Structure 1
Amino acid sequence: MEFATFILAAQRGYHQSSDGVIRNSIEQAVISEQAGFNTAWFAEHHFNNYSLVASPLMMVAHCAGLTSTIRLGTAVCVLPLYQPQRLLSEIGFADIVSDGRLELGVGSGYQQFEFERFGVDVDQAPAVFSEYLDVLIKGLNQKIFEHDGQYQKIPPTAISMRTIQKPTPPIWIAAGSGGSLRRAYREGHNLFVTAFHNGLHALGTLRENVEKAAASERKSVTKAKISLLRCCYASDHEAEINSYLENARFQRRLSEALQQRRQQSQDGYLLEEAPTQQDLSFESMRENLPIGSVNRVIDRLLEEISVLKPSQIAIQTQLGDFDQKTMLRQIELWGDKIIPAINSATHQRLGRDSIRPRST
């Protein structure tokens, strides 16, 4: 089982400086490597405090010089907001300076507030995403490529900054629909999925959708790696747990407001947190999520792994204004206790399955 940290780089209020948020995010990536995490993922958002990472590839390039083994990923590059031919060179640069450690996550985006400020129609985002991904795949695989599409017409073009990883870095798709799931299996890409703050039933539904997509493309479900983005926190201190839960709920409220095209801002930047009908109580969140004592987190994660069967768990480490020193200790705790325990248990489970007698 692989483990990753997902770093959103949110700014909950003006009591947090933007440079402090970014430096905290970078420090979390460095500590993640020291703790034994496989990957650090960086989000992309614009023009408000939901996330301060405008370019996840810039974060990858910077953190590449501060780390040596952890893989560094974009979760995700919002393709409709780019010129894909320029993005190809930036992907090549990031893979070169990271010595081939780039994980390339891409998605269509969903925040109208962002799209309007780039002059892009968010309602066309899925179609633009599909075409721009076509362009990226051509450019990554061909020394000279061209494209004649609805949104881009590119004459024969060569990209000078080519990736170290051949034929391409691993490509991950943020899969929120059946179409994106099927495309991932059809073309050999990996999957980002999330159940938000919901429990095992939602994970079971996710698994069913993944299996249907694989079957529709006549592929084995194991042909795509699956990364589950999850809020997880281990502690015996109620104050720590409640702070994490409160920041997780804050983050979800902002995401829902942006997704539902409700711009709640007095100054044009800092989004106002407001309760929603989708809010869960802290009790429900603790029941649904791997949150609580170390043993509770381990046991719950093992349940979730048995239901969804992911390849990777990406835990949300940077939420709102959660205390930085406490979060760094949390990352270390995962490296010391939780990751080894999960890997030991899953290894033993695989061993039992491999020696199970066949039916006759």
Structure 2
Amino acid sequence: MRIGAFLPAAQFPGRDHTGVLESTLDAAVAAEEAGFDGVWFAEHHFMSYGICPSAATLAGFVLGRTSRMHVGTAVSVLSTRHPVDLAEQANLLDQVSGGRFRLGVGRGGPWIDLEVFGTGLDRYENGFAESLDVLMTALRGGRMRADGATFGFREVEIVPGPRSRPHLDVTVAASSGRTLELAARMGLPLLLGMDLTAEEQAELLREHASHADAPVAGHVVTGVAQVADTREEARDVLLGSLPRWLRPGLASYQPLDGRQRPQRDPERYAEFLADTHAVGSPDDCVARLTEQARITGAEELILLVEGAGDPRAVLRNIRRLGAEVLPKVRAALS
């Protein structure tokens, strides 16, 4: 069981971009020092929910600041990227990091990003399978060509090839049956979000297995981790901070075509996160993380650790998790 930190570079009110990104870097380095197995960065555009527009770029910088843990993207959005360009960047990071880079990819959403980057709504709605196929082919290196509906080009040599063989680790974020089935058919593991309970995550993994030709390893599930002396104290920290981030962050998603999208209530979502995930005393966190790992059977847990908002509180949370929680979780699951 690997345990990683999930860092979306959340912009809490009153903080500027420089401060947020510097704090994200500090949190990543602190996670390695605390014994986390990896860190994962999210990718968003034009919103305060997360101010990292290129998870792979930030991952590359952090790979240079760290020496042991893996660094991944959760996720790089394929609907706004050329898959060969992303594969080249991923292979480069795989090479220079000694195989420590992990690539998570997703479809994204029908957001204004598609208009700004010129990929369009059809690419989001109908082009993900082709994009993922081109990406996986390019990640293997060597010569390739494409003759699809969206991507067509003459044979080229992909350089550099991957250091990891046959390619670096890739996970696919899935929130729909169509994406889940695609990942299963391609033999790729899932990356599941913190908006799900452990039981819901487990059900999606069972559905994935039902569509796969052979067992697939490497599934990643996301949660929230906030440790304090008591459950009440940890819960109060999150309920006092998360809505301040979620309210403007969730509201800033802009649908491209004016379609209506369900709006989460920030307070209720914060309560769901605090009541569903590893929030409480060290023993509370150990019990919840162990339960999530056993219910899902996933190979990695990645934990949102910056829910407190304040940079100093985030670093304290990371250090306490590393000292008081992670060793006990690993021992319980060994």
Same fold (TM over 0.5): yes
SS in 2 for 1:228: strand
Please identify, of 18-27 and 116-125, the stretch whose mean Cα deviation from structure 2 is larger: 116-125
**1:243-295 deviation per Cα after TM superposition (whole angstroms, max 9, x unaligned):** 333433444445643568399xxxxxxxxxxx844742766554322211111
Please identify, of 296-305 and 333-342, the stretch whose mean Cα deviation from structure 2 is larger: 296-305
Computed over aligned residues only, the root mean square deviation of the Cα atoms, in angstroms, reads: 2.5
| Displacement after TM superposition at 1:242 (Å) | 2.4
2:260 aligns with: none
Q: Is 2:76–2:106's contact at 8 Å kept on the other side of the alignment?
A: yes
Distance 1:242 1:278, change over 3 A: closer
2:107 aligns with: 108
Determine the C-alpha separation between the residues in 1 that align with 2:110 and 2:291.
33
Matched, 1:207 2:195: no
Determine the C-alpha separation between the residues in 2 that align with 1:283 and 1:112.
26
Q: Is 1:112–1:258's contact at 8 Å kept on the other side of the alignment?
A: no
Q: Is 1:40–1:70's contact at 8 Å kept on the other side of the alignment?
A: yes
1:332 aligns with: 319
1:82 aligns with: 81
**What is the identity percentage for the equivalent residue pairs of Structure 1 and Structure 2?**
27
**1:95-122 deviation per Cα after TM superposition (whole angstroms, max 9, x unaligned):** 2222211101111111513222223334
Q: Is 2:227–2:234's contact at 8 Å kept on the other side of the alignment?
A: no
2:129 aligns with: 130
Structure 2 unaligned residues grouped into runs of 5+: 258-262
Matched, 1:231 2:231: no
2:296 aligns with: 308
Q: Is 2:184–2:208's contact at 8 Å kept on the other side of the alignment?
A: yes
Distance 1:154 1:318, change over 3 A: farther
Distance 1:331 1:166, change over 3 A: same
Report 1:1-360 matches (<5 A): 1-13=1-13, 15-110=14-109, 112-122=111-121, 124-196=123-195, 202-220=197-215, 223-236=216-229, 241-254=235-248, 256-257=250-251, 261=255, 276-277=264-265, 279-280=267-268, 285-319=273-307, 322-347=309-334
Determine the C-alpha separation between the residues in 1 that align with 2:269 and 2:253.
21
Determine the C-alpha separation between the residues in 2 that align with 1:240 and 1:287.
11
Structure 1 unaligned residues grouped into runs of 5+: 264-274, 348-360
| Displacement after TM superposition at 1:297 (Å) | 1.4
**1:308-341 deviation per Cα after TM superposition (whole angstroms, max 9, x unaligned):** 222111111234x711111112111111121111
Q: Is 1:290–1:301's contact at 8 Å kept on the other side of the alignment?
A: yes
Determine the C-alpha separation between the residues in 2 that align with 1:49 and 1:281.
17
SS in 2 for 1:318: coil
SS in 1 for 2:182: helix
**1:332-351 deviation per Cα after TM superposition (whole angstroms, max 9, x unaligned):** 1111121111111112xxxx
Distance 1:10 1:345, change over 3 A: same
Determine the C-alpha separation between the residues in 2 that align with 1:87 and 1:44.
13
Q: Is 1:90–1:161's contact at 8 Å kept on the other side of the alignment?
A: no
SS in 2 for 1:166: coil
Q: How many residues align?
A: 328
Give the counterpart letter for 1:327 in structure 2: V
Determine the C-alpha separation between the residues in 2 that align with 1:52 and 1:342.
31
Distance 1:318 1:122, change over 3 A: farther
**1:100-148 deviation per Cα after TM superposition (whole angstroms, max 9, x unaligned):** 1110111111151322222333454143222111111111224110001
SS in 1 for 2:207: helix
- Give TM-score, length-normalised by structure 1: 0.83
Give the counterpart letter for 1:166 in structure 2: R
- Give TM-score, length-normalised by structure 2: 0.89
Distance 1:285 1:44, change over 3 A: closer
Q: Is 1:6–1:317's contact at 8 Å kept on the other side of the alignment?
A: yes
Determine the C-alpha separation between the residues in 2 that align with 1:105 and 1:49.
21
Structure showing greater Rg:
1
